Amino acid sequence: MKVVMIGAGYVGLTTGACLAELGHSVTCVDTDAARIKALAAGATPIYEPGLDDLIRKNRDGGRLDFSADTKGPASRADAIFLAVGTPAGANGDIDLSYIEAAARQIAPVMKPNTVVVVKSTVVVGTCRRLREVIAEKRLGLDFSVASNPEFLREGSAIEDFLHPDRIVIGADDRRAAALLEELYAPLTRRQTPVLVTNTANAELIKYASNAFLALKIGFINDVADLCEQVGGEIEAVARGMGLDRRIGTSFLSPGPGFGGSCFPKDTRAFVATGRKHRARQSLVETLVAKNETRKSSLARRVVAELGDRARGARVAVLGLAFKANTDDVRESPALSIIPLLQQAGLSVRAHDPQAEANAARHLSGVEMHDCLYAAAQDADAVVILTEWEDYRALDLKRLAKAMSGSLLIDYRNLFTAQKIALHGLRYVSLGKSASP
Ligand code: NAD
């Protein structure tokens, strides 16, 4: 099947490469000419484990190519995927201008029976709206608009795409459903459940799923706060909860608040949709507010732990990406917490295995170090914000020797207090009482 992917970002590139891997002929298109030039020259503009190899393999196999021109590839496609950004707009709503612009670009050249597939995360009713946008430009053209929400996680995007928990197909006509069923047949033959429903349901499934997962994170953060007050241990509590299959073990790790390009934006959009349609999502409203205050309260806690020595103290922040295995810093807790530490008079150095360049664009006055031990040199405190394996495996002896102070604040609970105490460091983590 001939597929065009409009938008070669995290989702578009991964989806494009994976659909090529399933045997389809895919052209990824992007308005960012530099991005297309880099891709054409064999460079992958984002960090995603395994993506380089997958792109190379499918390019070499003649199933994947890149273009800055939308019209040519779109005029030959059976399916045109829209995977452009749907960033936050005003009042929690999302900005649909990119996806509407993409629809206007493809409309004049689409051949009859083309299925336009909305991969971007969009509020309920958007597929119907895009149908109107295209129909206005192509009176009488027979085409479909379908929803196929994406559930991949950055950092494990390829695995998530090729082995999903489910595939959701939102189609308002049989042609769109049949095309998507055929497109995904190599996966559904391997027993991946597929849900075929209408576009409105598919759009709602995406938001309700993300809001629910974000609620789990917010909930466990609240329980961690309670554990600290009453002598509980969050790991034991979370494990005991997660063994109940109705609850499950995932998304039960406390942390510095959720970030990334999806959860913050999607929860706000879900809240805005609820308000607009007079069905307020009050649980999610509270979650959104609490997630913001969590970052500031954890920044204040760093200052409080340093006590009298806070002003002028040197702090090494380990982790700038919103989570491990990505270079994405969109709405990363580090981007909120670091400026608050600076405002409190702390001087900040930072390290991240992949996200330093992206974070540097949003931070000022932060010394970036490619070596984490160099970042920690003479530091009064080290604060871990991202759960990179590199940090879990760090040489605590070397770290303690590099630091001038002894405070290790671990907002990802990578260690145990006992292990840290062996190295003469004072350990602060989430959901547990202070180190012995
Ligand atoms: P991104 O910003 O990484 O990529 C979007 C790309 O679209 C950019 O490269 C941009 O230049 C390009 N673009 C914009 N307008 C265009 C046009 N008219 N024609 C061609 N290219 C155009 O965004 P992303 O993270 O890939 O997210 C895309 C969508 O997928 C969003 O709706 C997002 O909410 C959703 N989503 C993202 C993730 C994730 O983990 N990143 C997961 C699931 C869903």
CA distances from 398 to 31, 55, 213, 373 (A): 47, 39, 37, 7
Please indicate, yes or no, whether residues 141 and 205 belong to a single structural domain of this protein.
no
3-class DSSP string for 311-361: CCCEEEEECCCCCCCCCCCCCCHHHHHHHHHHHCCCEEEEECCCCHHHHHC
pLDDT tens track for 365-397: 999 999 999 999 999 999 999 999 999 999 999
Question: What's the whole-number mean pLDDT along residues 18-22?
Answer: 97
Asked if residue 154 belongs to a known ligand binding site, the reply is yes
The complex scores an ipTM of 0.99
- Angle CA 55–194–202, to nearest 5: 90
Residues marked active site are found at 262
Give yes or no for residue 8 CB within 6 A of ligand 1.
yes
| pLDDT confidence of residue 104 | 98
Range of the domain at 131: 2-197
Please indicate, yes or no, whether residues 155 and 294 belong to a single structural domain of this protein.
no
Q: Is the dihedral of CA 330, 257, 353, 348 positive or negative?
A: positive
| pLDDT confidence of residue 435 | 45
Cβ distance 148 to 182 under 8 Å? no
Asked if residue 265 belongs to a known ligand binding site, the reply is yes
Give yes or no for residue 295 CB within 6 A of ligand 1.
no
Q: What is the dihedral of CA 36, 41, 44, 50, to 10 degrees?
A: 130
Domain boundary among 197, 231, 251: 197
Which residue's alpha carbon is nearest to atom 20 within ligand 1? 30
Going by the DSSP 8-state scheme, the letter that residue 92 receives in this structure is G
Asked if residue 276 belongs to a known ligand binding site, the reply is no
Which ligand 1 atom is the nearest neighbour of the CA of 266? Answer: 34
pLDDT over threshold 50, residue 110: yes
Give yes or no for residue 261 CB within 6 A of ligand 1.
yes
pLDDT over threshold 80, residue 436: no
Please indicate, yes or no, whether residues 228 and 364 belong to a single structural domain of this protein.
yes
| pLDDT confidence of residue 238 | 98
pLDDT tens track for 267-301: 999 999 999 999 999 999 999 999 999 999 999 99
Which residue's alpha carbon is nearest to atom 27 within ligand 1? 85
Domain boundary among 197, 213, 242: 197
Please indicate, yes or no, whether residues 167 and 182 belong to a single structural domain of this protein.
yes
Question: What's the whole-number mean pLDDT along residues 416-427?
Answer: 94
Q: Report the CATH number that the domain containing residue 177 is assigned in CATH.
A: 3.40.50.720
Please indicate, yes or no, whether residues 111 and 160 belong to a single structural domain of this protein.
yes
Question: What's the whole-number mean pLDDT along residues 248-257?
Answer: 97
3-class DSSP string for 351-403: ECCCCHHHHHCCCCCCEECCCHHHHHCCCCEEEECCCCHHHHCCCHHHHHHHC
338 is written with which tokens? Answer: 């670091």
Question: What's the whole-number mean pLDDT along residues 24-51?
Answer: 95
Number of domains observed in the structure of the chain: 2
Question: What's the whole-number mean pLDDT along residues 109-126?
Answer: 98
Which residue's alpha carbon is nearest to atom 22 within ligand 1? 7
pLDDT tens track for 179-207: 999 999 999 888 899 999 999 999 999 99
Which ligand 1 atom is the nearest neighbour of the CA of 13? Answer: 26
Please indicate, yes or no, whether residues 209 and 92 belong to a single structural domain of this protein.
no
Stated as kind and residue range, the H or E segment containing 435 is none
Domain boundary among 151, 167, 197: 197
428 is written with which tokens? Answer: 């602060």
Please indicate, yes or no, whether residues 211 and 189 belong to a single structural domain of this protein.
no
pLDDT tens track for 133-189: 999 999 999 999 999 999 999 889 999 999 999 999 999 999 999 999 999 999 988
Cβ distance 288 to 114 under 8 Å? no
Please indicate, yes or no, whether residues 354 and 384 belong to a single structural domain of this protein.
yes
Residue 31 Cα to ligand 1 middle (Å): 11
Please indicate, yes or no, whether residues 356 and 216 belong to a single structural domain of this protein.
yes
Neighbours of 64 (CB within 10 A): 26
Give yes or no for residue 83 CB within 6 A of ligand 1.
yes
CA distances from 230 to 223, 225, 418 (A): 11, 9, 20
Mutate to test the pocket of ligand 1, among 5, 10, 268 (most ligand atoms within 8 A of CB): 10
Please indicate, yes or no, whether residues 56 and 128 belong to a single structural domain of this protein.
yes
pLDDT over threshold 80, residue 433: no
Please indicate, yes or no, whether residues 192 and 203 belong to a single structural domain of this protein.
no
Please indicate, yes or no, whether residues 8 and 20 belong to a single structural domain of this protein.
yes
Give yes or no for residue 39 CB within 6 A of ligand 1.
no
| pLDDT confidence of residue 116 | 98
Q: What value does the mean pLDDT of the chain take?
A: 96
Give yes or no for residue 82 CB within 6 A of ligand 1.
no
Residue 261 Cα to ligand 1 middle (Å): 10
| pLDDT confidence of residue 434 | 58
